[in-house]
Amino acid sequence: MKDDGEEHGESARRGPTSADKVLAVLSLFSAERPVWSPEGAARRLRVSLATGYRYFNTLVAAGMLEKLHRNRYVLGPAIVELDRKVRAADPVLKLAQPVMERLLRRLREPAAILLCRYYRQKVMCIHQETNRSGEPVSSYERGTLQPMFRGATSKVILAHLPPRIIVNLWRDHRREIAATGMGPSFEDFKAALRALRREPVNVATSEVDEGRTGIAAPIFDANGRVNGSLSIVLLSPPAGTRAVARLAIAVQAAAREIERSRGVTSDKGSKK
Amino acid sequence: MKDDGEEHGESARRGPTSADKVLAVLSLFSAERPVWSPEGAARRLRVSLATGYRYFNTLVAAGMLEKLHRNRYVLGPAIVELDRKVRAADPVLKLAQPVMERLLRRLREPAAILLCRYYRQKVMCIHQETNRSGEPVSSYERGTLQPMFRGATSKVILAHLPPRIIVNLWRDHRREIAATGMGPSFEDFKAALRALRREPVNVATSEVDEGRTGIAAPIFDANGRVNGSLSIVLLSPPAGTRAVARLAIAVQAAAREIERSRGVTSDKGSKK
DNA sequence: ACCTATTTATCACATTGTGAGAATTAGGCG
DNA sequence: CGCCTAATTCTCACAATGTGATAAATAGGT
């Protein structure tokens, strides 16, 4: 499977490589099931018990897994270390963070600012800033995924995705798309996207967290492709149309600011 | 190499496995060199160019790498997703975070609270809370490593590490230990550790960040082993001995609080 | 539409990953 | 303190697959 839902799986003459299966162990771990044993993983991956132990040992050696107890392994500290490197290397994050802080400081009401991006037919949160430390304003924190068709943050990205990906999304999520009202046919879907594209921001309520309202603007890269989105999430419904309009202008301005400062550290730089 | 500096490498009859080398690609990426090409990695890992491409492809397929451009790959979104799972699954973090927030709220001065743990002969920051959003109080953020012998946060953990690990540390870092004044001999080192252990907290200045003072207390697990440390980092030198004493009591209390609430979600729970 | 650097495919060979089972270790419980 | 069983490693033989060298194809930039 490629980075989006390409390749229906036609000419795959060779099976998954050994390293593929070792890496597949990592994706067994989830919030619901954060602890695995070599035995359980071996059964799940259809390999022998001995191989299960071998996989776990190489992952432990790499720090990607950690032995908690006898038969209990969890995701390891190497992941924490790697994520630090991801943060340090992410140019968009580096540019966006101060902008997000400034935007948040202008808001009086309880709110969160989100920076998100496309990833494998979903949208992932890259960073969240909030002005409420106690109760979380949004559950949509770094590393969390949301479906492509729910929430302002997702939809504003969806609207600007390149046609190739749109086709794949339609192919793989027809049912879900229809359920969210973007029409039963591909033409309806494209029309819905065109409509979304006409608005500079997207506003949606209770699509990610109950009672929360998201106001999202797209962020484009130097080539005019969507890079992600910037959103304001409000704890309580906004006072009125004027309040929403004010916030919509603010997110847009912030998104433009991120785009503007982009040029400096852009990837189009030195080629060799 | 095991999880600390064990195994001098004596009976390793088999070389590194394929998956080992694929995972080794990830550790090439660093803050100084966050972008790699299959060619560069292949040269570095002493494999052919074709194999370099193969490794990169399996890592991209797993989302652990992402193709930025033609010849430029960076660490990928799967790492961000995995780190989210690590955070969600970490019982210590879950217990500590509210305690850290409460502790921070009691402080008037610019400060940060750190939660750290032992990892491969170093100490890694797991979480930081700070009351200064603009300028960072401490550079020691999540995923960052510090040497075992510098900083209050590290030393308070070092003091309580099990003998086996202490021996390995001495074996692998004799030079560095001597440089930090913990004596030229192993006996001196052990004496220094005993002295550290006598104090309930450790205080150190300018050992991690210039001008910052750290005040750290150990956190023990249900079996009495060091699990990590909790630290207050002050932006400016503390007013006087009384101020330090007050803060020392506060971190200790917070550490005890984390230990107390531990019982509920401890790993000693349900066995099968 | 070119042109070159990048990336994939081909293929033959040997390395090594694999499963089954034996041997060992380690932890919990009496 | 030492058993006892589950967990983990070891051994080994075999075939699968990872590998390098080279050719073919692809994709970006000009």
Is A120 close to B58, i.e. CB distance below 8 A?
A: no
Nearest CA in chain A to B6: A61
Three-class HEC string of B249-261: HHHHHHHHHHHHH
Q: Are residues A153 and A197 in the same domain?
A: yes
Q: Is residue B161 part of a domain?
A: yes
CA atoms lying within 13 Å on the CB side of residue B243: 12
Per-residue pLDDT band at A6 (split at 50, 70, 90): low
Q: Are residues A56 and A126 in the same domain?
A: no
Percent of chain A with pLDDT over 70: 92
**CA B67 – CA B75 distance, rounded (Å):** 9
Query: Alpha carbon A194 to chain centroid distance?
Result: 22
Q: What is the pLDDT of residue B270?
A: 37
Helices (H), chain A: 18-26, 38-45, 49-61, 77-89, 91-106, 152-158, 163-179, 186-198, 241-265
Identify the weakest region by mean pLDDT among A11-20, A68-77, B101-110, B168-177: A11-20
Please state the pTM of the whole predicted model: 0.92
Query: Alpha carbon A234 to chain centroid distance?
Result: 19
**CA A41 – CA A55 distance, rounded (Å):** 9
Q: Is residue B272 part of a domain?
A: no
Q: Is residue B13 part of a domain?
A: no
CA distances from A259 to A239, A266, B192 (A): 29, 10, 54
> How many domains does chain B divide into?
2
Q: Closest CA to D27 C1' — which residue?
A: B70
Q: What is the pLDDT of residue B4?
A: 64
Q: How far is the CA of B50 from the C1' of C12 (A)?
A: 16
Q: Are residues B154 and B180 in the same domain?
A: yes
Per-residue pLDDT band at A267 (split at 50, 70, 90): very low
Which residues of chain A from 1 to 60 reach within 8 Å of chain B, CB to CB? 1-3, 17-20, 22-24, 26-27, 29-31, 34-35, 54-55, 58-60
Q: Is residue B126 part of a domain?
A: yes
Q: Is residue A272 part of a domain?
A: no
**CA A98 – CA B220 distance, rounded (Å):** 37
CA distances from A89 to A173, A209, A219 (A): 33, 30, 18
Per-residue pLDDT band at A241 (split at 50, 70, 90): confident
Q: In Å, how far is A240's CA from the nearest CA of chain B?
A: 30
Q: Is residue A9 part of a domain?
A: no
Q: Is residue B255 part of a domain?
A: yes
Place of tokens 């990892």: B119
Q: Which residue has the higher pLDDT, A191 or A268?
A: A191
Is A1 close to B68, i.e. CB distance below 8 A?
A: no
CA atoms lying within 13 Å on the CB side of residue A271: 1
Provide mean pLDDT across the span A207-228: 93
Q: Which of A44, A59, A80 is the last residue of a domain?
A: A80
Range of the domain at B34: 18-80
With a 7 Å cutoff on the CB, does B223 touch strand C?
no
Q: What is the pLDDT of residue A263?
A: 58
Q: Which residue has the higher pLDDT, A271 or A162?
A: A162
Q: Residue B137 in contact with residue B112, Cβ under 8 Å?
A: yes
Q: What is the pLDDT of residue B36?
A: 98
Which one of B19, B64, B124 has the shortest CB-CB distance to A77? B124
Q: Are residues B67 and B180 in the same domain?
A: no
Per-residue pLDDT band at A269 (split at 50, 70, 90): very low
Q: Are residues A71 and A124 in the same domain?
A: no
Q: What is the pLDDT of residue B8?
A: 47
CB within 7 A of strand C (chain A, 173-192): none
Q: Is residue A183 part of a domain?
A: yes
Q: Are residues A64 and A166 in the same domain?
A: no
Q: What is the pLDDT of residue A238?
A: 75
In chain B, % helix, strand, coil (3-state, to 5) comes to 45, 20, 35
Beta bridge partners of B230: B115, B217
CATH number for position A61: 1.10.10.10
Q: Residue B129 in contact with residue B100, Cβ under 8 Å?
A: yes
Is B81 close to A35, i.e. CB distance below 8 A?
A: no
**CA A56 – CA A62 distance, rounded (Å):** 10
Provide mean pLDDT across the span A202-213: 94
Dmax (CA) of chain A: 64
Is A142 close to B84, i.e. CB distance below 8 A?
A: yes
Parts of chain B with a pLDDT under 50: 1-2, 8-11, 264-272
Q: pLDDT by residue (tens digit) across B100-118?
A: 999 999 999 999 999 999 9
**A162 C-beta neighbours (distance < 10 Å), count:** 9
Nucleotides of D under 7 A from a protein CB: 6-11, 17-22, 28-30
Beta bridge partners of B220: B226
Q: Which two tokens stand for residue B15?
A: 């070389």
Statement: residue A268 has pLDDT above 80: no
Q: Residue B69 in contact with residue A125, Cβ under 8 Å?
A: no
CATH number for position A217: 3.30.450.40
Q: What is the pLDDT of residue A5?
A: 62
Backbone angles phi, psi at B89, to 5 degrees: -90, -15
Q: In Å, how far is B202's CA from the nearest CA of chain A?
A: 24
Place of tokens 């207390």: B217
Which residues of chain A from 248 to 267 reach within 8 Å of chain B, CB to CB? 267
Nucleotides of C under 7 A from a protein CB: 5-10, 16-21, 27-29
Which one of A26, A86, A133 has the shortest CB-CB distance to B75? A86
Q: Are residues B43 and B142 in the same domain?
A: no
Q: Are residues A176 and A249 in the same domain?
A: yes
Residue A237, classed as helix, strand or coil, is: coil
Q: Residue A182 in contact with residue A189, Cβ under 8 Å?
A: yes
Is B89 close to A81, i.e. CB distance below 8 A?
A: no
Q: Are residues B190 and B55 in the same domain?
A: no
Backbone angles phi, psi at B68, to 5 degrees: -80, -45
Phi/psi region, residue B40 (left: phi>0; alpha: psi -120 to 50; beta: rest), is: alpha
Q: Which residue has the higher pLDDT, A215 or A10?
A: A215
Identify the weakest region by mean pLDDT among A188-202, A241-255, B79-93, B233-247: B233-247
CB within 7 A of strand D (chain A, 146-205): none
**CA B207 – CA B238 distance, rounded (Å):** 15
Provide mean pLDDT across the span A110-128: 97
Q: In Å, how far is A13's CA from the nearest CA of chain B?
A: 15
Q: Which two tokens stand for residue B59?
A: 């890592």
Q: Are residues B222 and B154 in the same domain?
A: yes
Q: What is the pLDDT of residue B26?
A: 98
Q: Are residues B73 and B96 in the same domain?
A: no
Which residues of chain B from 116 to 145 reach within 8 Å of chain A, CB to CB? 117, 119-120, 124, 126, 133-134, 141-145
**CA B26 – CA B47 distance, rounded (Å):** 15
Statement: residue A166 has pLDDT above 60: yes
Q: How far is the CA of B123 from the C1' of C30 (A)?
A: 40
Is B85 close to A31, i.e. CB distance below 8 A?
A: yes
Place of tokens 């309930």: B200
Beta bridge partners of A123: A118, A146
Q: What is the pLDDT of residue A236?
A: 87
Q: What is the pLDDT of residue A239?
A: 75
Q: What is the pLDDT of residue B6?
A: 57
Provide the pairing of β-strand A145-147 with A202-205: unpaired
Q: In Å, how far is B149's CA from the nearest CA of chain A?
A: 20
Q: pLDDT by residue (tens digit) across B40-54?
A: 999 999 999 999 999
Q: Are residues B110 and B177 in the same domain?
A: yes
Q: What is the pLDDT of residue B185?
A: 94
Which amino acid is it at A63? G
With a 7 Å cutoff on the CB, does B70 touch strand D?
yes
